[in-house]
Amino acid sequence: MLDTVSLVFVVVMIIAFAIPFVIHHKKNTRRQAQAKARMSAYARMHNLSFHFMEIWRNQYFLGMDEEKCKLVYIEDIAKGDPFIIDLHHVNGVHVDEKSRRIKSQGDSRGHKIIDQIDLILESEIPGQRQKIEIYDGEKFSCLINELVLANTWEQRIRQTIIQKSLKVQE
């Protein structure tokens, strides 16, 4: 059986190990709450109401007001300024993935390395497009579900564009 000193030592070590994780979690939660508050204030200022909103990597923000067909994007929540994209002037959307293959011995196909994931919004004006950065391999070393996020937002935007065009036809 453990003596009292050993038991106290184990408890202290467990607490010392857990403290950095707790601090990191609280810091991230606070950062996300500040970002949501900032973006909600921005939305109110521009008379928007987000039906969908996403913050990822504590850096990017994407929000959409389906009724007004507006998309709000910010690449760097801490430093950047958000901008509004009017989906009334967007005809199409697709995910643009830039990747490369690194081959190794014994593996003829190689490993796929994704360098960049963007959402491309095609304008009504031919040749004009807007790029929304979802992931940049120069900034981050690994993916954390960004491809799924990009596909989800592609579907949401596409659905909003379809609904917009149906309303115009009525």
- Per-residue pLDDT tens digits for 97-155: 998 888 777 777 778 889 999 999 998 888 789 999 999 999 998 888 999 999 999 99
Nearest to 140 by CA among 54, 96, 93, 75: 75
pTM to 2 decimal places:
0.80
Amino acid at the residue 93: V
Report pLDDT for 65: 93
Using left for φ > 0, alpha for ψ between -120 and 50, and beta otherwise, residue 106 falls in left
Q: In this structure, are residues 71 and 84 in contact, taking their beta carbons and an 8 Å threshold?
A: yes
CA distance 1 to 31: 45
Place of tokens 């065009």: 165
Q: In this structure, are residues 94 and 154 in contact, taking their beta carbons and an 8 Å threshold?
A: yes
**Top-confidence residue, 154 or 6:** 154
Q: Name, in order, each residue with C-beta under 8 angstroms of 126's C-beta and a sequence gap of 6 or more.
A: none
Report pLDDT for 123: 87
Looking at the predicted structure, is the pLDDT value of residue 86 above 80?
Answer: yes
Q: In this structure, are residues 22 and 38 in contact, taking their beta carbons and an 8 Å threshold?
A: no
Q: In this structure, are residues 110 and 104 in contact, taking their beta carbons and an 8 Å threshold?
A: yes
pLDDT (tens digit per residue) in 24-52: 999 988 988 888 888 889 999 999 999 99
**Top-confidence residue, 101 or 60:** 60
Report pLDDT for 151: 95
Report pLDDT for 134: 95
Looking at the predicted structure, is the pLDDT value of residue 167 above 70?
Answer: no
**Top-confidence residue, 170 or 155:** 155
